[in-house]
Chains A and B, each alone.
Chain A
Amino acid sequence: GAGVSQSPSNKVTEKGKDVELRCDPISGHTALYWYRQSLGQGLEFLIYFQGNSAPDKSGLPSDRFSAERTGGSVSTLTIQRTQQEDSAVYLCASSLGVGLSYEQYFGPGTRLTVT
């Protein structure tokens, strides 16, 4: 079956512009996570959606970052007024959700470069 997909695969943007990154989770997965991986770093948790509950935004690095998940499926991560330190690979993952499975399935990521 189809896995987690993300678009675009690569994005180059100028400093100060806004960007939107998209994630299509596996159908039926109620949990969705966003991470980012900067060069030489591990995966940094950004935000977590579980069903219809309020998202866990505790990992968002600043108020320039926001995410939404429409209809419990597709999610969009928005970065406003991008800065060079936002350059990273942004990874999305989905899972069956709380109490069902801890296993996350990752998408291929979006490589964001801010010039």
Chain B
Amino acid sequence: DQQVKQNSPSLSVQEGRISILNCDYTNSMFDYFLWYKKYPAEGPTFLISISSIKDKNEDGRFTVFLNKSAKHLSLHIVPSQPGDSAVYFCAAATTGNQFYFGTGTSLTVIP
């Protein structure tokens, strides 16, 4: 059973516009959420995270929003750049440090 879901396998955005990547989860016990970025033939790299006690975390062009009542989080990238083209995974963690990853969304930023 997939506890973390990314329902959009791909997304295309024009350079300079906003990219919004979405993620839904089912387990209300998750207390930490993360986004990872993955280039081909490389391991995922950490991008940004948010604790369940917050609803927003911002780091430069990247902002993560958490809506606990809807069990939904999203990653906003503004402005999008061609170098942002990659696969983005959302992940959720419990206090026991077990992680659950989504299936990823492939973002293409068109110059």
Contacting A at CB under 8 A, from B91-111, are: 91, 93, 95-104
Contacting A at CB under 8 A, from B50-66, are: none
Tell me the smallest distance from the CB of A49 to a CB of chain B, in Å. Answer: 10
On chain A, the residues within 8 Å of B42 by CB distance are 108-109
For the complex, is A91 an interface residue (Cβ under 8 Å from B)? yes
For the complex, is B41 an interface residue (Cβ under 8 Å from A)? yes
Whether the Cβ atoms of A35 and B101 lie closer than 8 Å is yes
On chain B, the residues within 8 Å of A105 by CB distance are 46
Report B69-95 CB contacts with A as 1/0, cut-off 8 Å.
000000000000000000001010101
On chain B, the residues within 8 Å of A104 by CB distance are 46, 99
Chain A interface residue count, Cβ-Cβ cutoff 8 angstroms: 27
Tell me the smallest distance from the CB of A3 to a CB of chain B, in Å. Answer: 9
Whether the Cβ atoms of A42 and B101 lie closer than 8 Å is yes
Residues of B within 8 A of A (CB): 2, 4, 6, 32, 34, 36, 41-46, 49, 89, 91, 93, 95-104
Beyond A102-B49, A107-B43, 17 additional contacts (C-beta under 8 Å) are A31-B97, A35-B101, A42-B4, A42-B6, A42-B89, A42-B102, A44-B101, A45-B101, A48-B97, A50-B97, A56-B96, A91-B43, A97-B97, A102-B34, A102-B97, A103-B46, A108-B41
